Amino acid sequence: MLKNLLTNTDLLLNIVYLIVFLFFTYKILSATLLASIKKKIDPFADQRDEKDFDRMIKRKMDLLRANNGMYVPEDQQLSPTQTLLKKEQNKNQKMLQTNIPVQYKALYDDLSWGSGDEVKKIIKLFQREFSYTPNEQGLRDKLKIHLKDDSLMSTINQSTKDEVLTLFYGRALFDYYFDEISEQKYSLIKKIALRLEVPIDLFTYAFQYMLLTEINAKERFQSQLVLNSYDLNKRHQLTSLFFAQHGEQIAKSVNGIQELVKRHFVVADFIRPWPEITKNSSLTDALSVLRSHQSFTLEEIKRNYKKIAMEKHPDKIASLKLPKEIEHNALKQFQTIQIAFEIIHKQKG
């Protein structure tokens, strides 16, 4: 029978074809069946396959960017408006990454990825100017917010590498001043006021008047602090407007903000509340009105008196064209310093 089978070529070929057909059918059906069983047992097994390595790397990079404030995870629920803003921010971010000026790249990389010591250089500026060491992570968080400011690049493009650092130092200092005024807990402002030999409240009112003048706000003449009532959005708008106008000046000097604030001391002094002084007031109260101390000589007090009297002179007040209420305060202050000097002259003269 075997001999007949071997001599029957057609039958032999049919057997071979059948074996081949059964073999491939088994391979196909077994692979499909195994895949189905595997998926039922572990539906997410395919996501852990080594072939999905690129997908895993992308997820890790997304997480890293999210931790650095540069990326919004895809699974975060966004409104249509937020989605549009996100796309615009991502577009601007991509443009920025491909057009980062050389003088800005080191600081940008340090803020974005923590790859450098540029933030530490800004901390050293605080240590040098104020003997103050800000928290590094807190400082980074503040500066990252400024990366999103559209007005930033126009200043950076005209600055050197050192000026870029000074600009970001100024922006951080600006934020700290704003924080202290909002919380009415003065640390850096106390130090700068002491250096400039002015009362703390004079500096704070001058800072507030300076910012509100930028937007021509009516409340700039209020005899109370209003910055602490501003939400983050309004605060960021004020910051952007201020640095769009004065960024170049601030980038050129670590004292840039202080110099700008000083310009508003005269008007701010008219606005801030003054102590009531009568002929029966104490020497301490009288000295405070003339920005003096017990240790000052009579000549030093006289110099302060003449300087303040010139600032409060009715002719000077009229030239400033202030609102009537503020003009009235200024004239009242002029009378107050006369009384204060009489008290001091009587006790020290």
Question: Tokens for 291?
Answer: 């920005």
pLDDT above 80: residue 45: no
Of the two residues 214 and 105, the one the predictor is more confident about is 105
C-alpha–C-alpha distance, residues 231 and 11, integer Å? 91
- Surface-to-core class of residue 69, CB atoms within 10 Å of its CB (0-12 exposed, 13-18 middle, 19+ buried): middle
pLDDT the model gives residue 216: 73
Q: What is the pLDDT of residues 262-272, one digit of tens each?
A: 999 988 988 88
Residue 332 contacts residue 273 (beta carbons within 8 Å) = no
Radius of gyration for the alpha carbons in the chain, expressed in angstroms and rounded: 36
Amino acid identity, residue 202?
L
Percent above pLDDT 90 for the chain: 26
pLDDT the model gives residue 44: 47
pLDDT the model gives residue 179: 93
C-alpha–C-alpha distance, residues 82 and 165, integer Å? 32
Of the two residues 22 and 86, the one the predictor is more confident about is 22
| Cα→Cα distances 131→170, 191, 192, Å | 16, 9, 11
pLDDT the model gives residue 154: 85
CA dihedral 285, 289, 294, 295 (to 10 degrees): 170
pLDDT confidence tier of residue 48, bands split at 50, 70 and 90? very low
pLDDT above 80: residue 17: no
C-alpha–C-alpha distance, residues 116 and 85, integer Å? 30
Is the CA virtual torsion 251, 257, 260, 262 positive or negative? negative
Of the two residues 64 and 5, the one the predictor is more confident about is 64
Domain locations in the chain?
A: 2-48, 103-268, 274-348
pLDDT the model gives residue 47: 47
pLDDT the model gives residue 280: 83
Question: Tokens for 201?
Answer: 């409240």
Q: Which residues of 115-150 are buried (b: 16+ CB within 10 A; e: fewer)?
A: ebebbebbbebbeebbeeebeeeebbebbeebbebe
The total number of residues written for the chain in this structure: 349
Gap between the terminal Cα atoms of the chain: 145
C-alpha–C-alpha distance, residues 78 and 91, integer Å? 17
pLDDT the model gives residue 262: 93
Q: What is the pLDDT of residues 219-257, one digit of tens each?
A: 777 778 888 888 888 888 888 889 988 999 999 999 999
pLDDT confidence tier of residue 34, bands split at 50, 70 and 90? low
- According to CATH, the topology of domain 274-348 is Helix Hairpins (1.10.287)
pLDDT above 70: residue 347: yes
* Mean pLDDT value across residues 165-193: 93
pLDDT above 70: residue 82: no
